[in-house]
Structure formats: C-alpha cells, structure tokens
Structure 1
Amino acid sequence: MAERAHLEWFRERIAASLAIESRDPAPILAWCEERRRSIEFRADLIGLDQVRDWSRDAQGNVRHKSGQFFGVEGVRIESGDLREVKSWDQPIYTQPDGGILGLIARETAENGVEFFLHAKAEPGNIGILQLGPSIQSTWSNIRRAHAGKRPPMVEVLTAEAGVRIVYRAEHNEEGGRFWRKSNDNVVAFLDDERVIETDTTMFCWASLSQIRELALMDNVLSPFVKTILFPL
C-alpha cells in the first residue's frame, strides 16, 4: 500500500535546500572515476549452457538451482490493433516477488538535503559503475538465496528508530521485459545516521541539483534514481 506520511514535509525541506546545496557534479564524477580505478570487476558474454547454477527445465525455461531470482520463460501476445503487429512470441523474465529500490536522504546545515548514491557495478553497465539508488535489491537477494552477503543498506528500512519513510509505493517494472514484476520504491530520511551498518566505500552524498546535472550526462546515472525521485 502506498505510504506518504512525510512527503509534504520533505518537499519543503528540498525547497529550502536549493539556496545552499551544491550544483556542481564534478566532485561526484571525480569520486566515481577514482572508485572505478580502485575495483576489480570484469564481465564477458558466455553461452547459456556455460552459466553456472542455471539450467533449462523440461519446457526449456531457464531457472536458477535455488528456484529463486528470475526465470526466463516464453510469452505469447495477442494485441489486436494496439501494437505494431497483431501477435508475437518472445522470451520474458519472470520474477513475481520483485524487490526494493530505495534512496536514503539526510539534511545538514552545510549542504542541505542530500541523497546517498551507490556506485554499483553491474555486468551490463557501460563503464562498469553506474550511480544508482542507495538500496537496489530483489527479495531473493535480501533472503540471501545466493548464499552471499546481505545487500547494502537494507538495514535502514528495518531500523526501529532513526528513520522516517518519506514515501513508499509499488511501481511495475518495464512490462516488455518482466512478467508482472513490481518493486517497492522508497525514500527514507535519516534522523540518525548511526542506523547505517553497511560499508560506505562505494557510496556518496549528492544534492538534488547535482543529480539533475548527472541525469544530463551519458551513462552515468541509473534510471532507477530518476524514477524514485520523480514523486518529490
């Protein structure tokens, strides 16, 4: 269910912040480039038959051995006159349990309202790192179906105190690629930064004005950031 108890208050804080917040994205770009040089990350395309822990079932659908994450199945569409053709088949990702896309915010006397961006490495990113939401995780990852580490910053959303949820709403992910997948979009305001337990090496604070400048640059800012910020 949509939640917006602190939304009008936060909009007022954003408006007040405009007078003092930084508009120059250069420090963030320099920080991101330094992070890019410091990490080890490589991604190469391989055949589906070579992918570890994924296999085809009896119908040819691709699934993870855990039964979680996403699957790749087929869908047949009858569109009448709504689309370019009347009917087509295609592969589609099936991941009905969705995930969380969240931005953590704070306000300081020196810099006004800021948002915590994650320089996140993904295999399909141009330039490896992209500035994304503070929290970007499927429920499968949160449940640690990969047997790896807990996703960054999820502790903020489960904190019993020190955090105000500005808004929360479910947004349907792009329906041309995902079958009925919905994500929780959240902005969480920190009253107490001590709730953060995650290593913040790959995170940086950015004002809304800086984020707007980053959005005008090629392949720097995740589209999820823009989606989360739009209701503000």
Structure 2
Amino acid sequence: MAERAHLDWFRERVAASREIEHKDAAPILAWCENLRHSIQFRADLIGLDAVRGWLRDERGNWRHQSGQFFGVEGVRVESGGLREVAAWDQPIYTQPEGGVLAMLARETPAKGVEFMLQAKAEPGNIGVLQLCPTIQSTWSNIKRAHAGKRPPMVEVLTAKAGIRIVYRAEHNEEGGRFWRKSNENVVVFLEDERVIETDTAMFYWASLSQIRQLALMDNVLSPFVKTILLPI
C-alpha cells in the first residue's frame, strides 16, 4: 500500500512557499553547463560481443557475470487486436528487483520548499548530463554488485532520524522495454541535513517553479523527476 502520511502537510508547505521561492531556472542551467565542461565522461557504441562483463547464456539471453543488474531476453506478444499488429517478437529488459527513485526536499525561511536535483551522467544522454531525481538507483547498484562506490545519497533513505517520508509508492517501469519491473518512488523531507554524507558537488536545490521551467526545455530534465513530483 502506498505510504502518504505526510503528503497533505507537505502540500501545504509547498503552497506556502510559492510567494518566496525562486522562479528563474537560468542559474541551474548555468551551473549544469559549467559541470558539463568540467567532468570527464565519454560513451561510444560498441558491439554486444565486445561488452566486458556481460555474457550470452545457453538460451541466447544477455546477462551480467554477477547475475545481477538487468538481462536482455526475448518476449513473444499476442495483442488480441489491442495494438497496431496482432502479434510480434522483441527483445526486452528483465530486472524484477526494480529500483528507487527519490527526491529529497527541504524548507528554508529564505527560499521556501526546494528539491534536490542530481546532474547525472548516463551513456545515452543527449549532452551527457541530465537533471535527475536526487536518488536514481537499481537495487543491484545499492547492493554494490558492480563492486564500485555506493550510489550517492542512499544514506538518507536508511537514516534513523532527521527525515520525514512524504510519500512512497510503486510505479511501473516503461512496459515496452522492461518486463514487469517497478520502481519505488519516494519524496523525503529533510528535517536535519546532517544526515547527508554524500559530496553535493553534483546536486542543486531547486524550487518547484524552477523545475516547471526546466520541464519545458529540451533534453534537460529527466522524466522521472516529473513522475515523482506529480502527486505534489
């Protein structure tokens, strides 16, 4: 069942901040552009057979050598006339464990309610960086199946104090690409910012008005941000 014990309270705080919150998204765009020129990140398309750490199994499906992350399998569909064609085959991602998509929020006397955006580099992004939810991670990454660093900001989700869960709900991942996968969407209100242990260099506090501006621009804002904030 969806958790929303503090949702009405938070909506009141968002409404109260409209008069004082920042409206112009230009400072966020300038910050993101400066980051884009300062980071080192490159992605090039290569053949599947050249991908390190991924193997084809006995059925011809692609899986990570750790047994975690997503797989690439085939699906056969019979639509019964509901779609453009009666039946088709296609590849599909299989990742039943899902992930977490979370926005952190705070309220200050000077700026009202703000949400923490992450400038996230992904190989398929146009322009490399996209403004994403504060936390955007699969459970495989959170469990460190890649043997790398812990995803940023996940420490907030496990904090014993200093946070308030505004709402939490499961949402389907895009079903044309993922097989029966859902993500946990969460808004977390920070009552004590000392729970943050992550370096915040890649994060920016933005008002809801600024985020609405960003949503009208091409290839700037992740669609996950819009999905998480829609209930607000």
The interval holding the TM-score normalised by the smaller chain is over 0.9
Shift of 1:106: 0.1
Which residue identity lines up with residue 163 of structure 1 in the other structure? I
Which residue identity lines up with residue 40 of structure 2 in the other structure? E
Aligned residue number for residue 149 of structure 2:
149
Aligned residue number for residue 209 of structure 1:
209
Q: What is the TM-score when the length of structure 1 is the normalising length?
A: 1.00
Q: Alignment partner of 2:67: what SS?
A: coil
What is the Cα-based RMSD across aligned positions, in Å? 0.4
Whole-Å separation in 2 of the counterparts to 1:107 and 1:168: 19
Q: After superposition, where does 1:151-190 map in structure 2 within 5 Å?
A: 151-190=151-190
Shift of 1:70: 0.1
Which residue identity lines up with residue 116 of structure 2 in the other structure? F
Whole-Å separation in 2 of the counterparts to 1:30 and 1:63: 39
The number of aligned residues is 232
Q: Alignment partner of 2:29: what SS?
A: helix
Pairing 1:109–2:84 present? no
Shift of 1:13: 0.3
Which residue identity lines up with residue 219 of structure 1 in the other structure? N
Which residue identity lines up with residue 172 of structure 1 in the other structure? N
Q: After superposition, where does 1:1-232 map in structure 2 within 5 Å?
A: 1-232=1-232
Runs of 4 or more, structure 1, over 6 Å off, are none
Shift of 1:183: 0.3
Shift of 1:114: 0.2
Gaps of 5+ in 1: none
Whole-Å separation in 2 of the counterparts to 1:128 and 1:75: 31
Shift of 1:135: 0.3
Whole-Å separation in 1 of the counterparts to 2:114 and 2:35: 20
Whole-Å separation in 1 of the counterparts to 2:107 and 2:220: 24
Whole-Å separation in 1 of the counterparts to 2:181 and 2:71: 12
Shift of 1:102: 0.2
Which residue identity lines up with residue 174 of structure 1 in the other structure? E
Whole-Å separation in 2 of the counterparts to 1:228 and 1:172: 12
Shift of 1:89: 0.3
Whole-Å separation in 2 of the counterparts to 1:151 and 1:12: 31
Q: Alignment partner of 1:145: what SS?
A: coil
Which residue identity lines up with residue 103 of structure 1 in the other structure? M
Whole-Å separation in 1 of the counterparts to 2:116 and 2:223: 15
What do the CA deviations read for 1:126-156 (whole angstroms, capped 9, x no partner)?
Answer: 0000000000000000000000000010010
Whole-Å separation in 2 of the counterparts to 1:81 and 1:42: 43
Whole-Å separation in 1 of the counterparts to 2:203 and 2:38: 14
Whole-Å separation in 1 of the counterparts to 2:174 and 2:49: 27
Q: Alignment partner of 2:37: what SS?
A: helix
Whole-Å separation in 2 of the counterparts to 1:41 and 1:79: 41
